[in-house]
Amino acid sequence: MMRMIAIWTLILAWGLALTGPARAMDSLVQAKNFHADARTAAQRQVPILVLFTSPTCPYCERAKREYLVPMHMDPGYHSRVIIREVNINSTASLTGFDGKPTTEGAFARANKVSIVPTVMVFDPRGTATSEAIVGLLIADYYFGYLEAAIDEGMRMVRGKKISLKTGP
């Protein structure tokens, strides 16, 4: 009996070990430091796509599951965009593009985001590069809207060849 319990314990532990990384892979990176993300974006010459969400929003979960997480997981997008998530109701600390401390909710309010899901694409200076995509819109065209916003962001960033000063 003890041997059977030990075997089941090992199987359960092994299963839990496998689901941890899988869960991390099926979500977006929560925004923590846009100033650091902006330095990376400037080096790579890519825009930063921000998905504004709320934990109770089923459309947000659908946008993540069907569109943004697959983009985030696709190595082809790593050379085109940095993707982050911001919870519009959160008081979690966040460093803004300007390097100043703020919160996720304050960042959303500063960008006039009150409806979720909303997608905005920014250049490394924190300037929006296209119109916000508000709501899930027509699901059949949503991927196209995201692609167009990323392409516009890339044109803006690569056209300006943005570099951020790291010192005086």
Identify whether 73 is part of a domain. yes
- Alpha carbons 51 and 28: distance in angstroms, whole number: 9
Q: Do 124 and 93 form a contact (C-beta atoms < 8 A)? A: no
Identify whether 116 is part of a domain. yes
Identify whether 5 is part of a domain. no
What is the mean pLDDT for each group of 10 consecutive residues in the chain (168 residues)?
Answer: 50 43 65 98 97 96 96 95 98 98 98 98 97 90 96 92 51
Residues 6+ apart with CB under 8 A from 134: 115, 118
Q: What is the CATH number of the domain that holds 92?
A: 3.40.30.10
pLDDT score for 162: 53
Identify whether 11 is part of a domain. no
Identify whether 65 is part of a domain. yes
Q: How many domains does the chain have?
A: 1
pLDDT score for 167: 47
Beta strand 133-134 with 82-87 is: unpaired
Q: Tokens in use for 94?
A: 């966040």
Identify whether 4 is part of a domain. no
Identify whether 76 is part of a domain. yes
Q: Do 85 and 117 form a contact (C-beta atoms < 8 A)? A: no
43 is in which domain, residue-wise? 28-160
Identify whether 167 is part of a domain. no
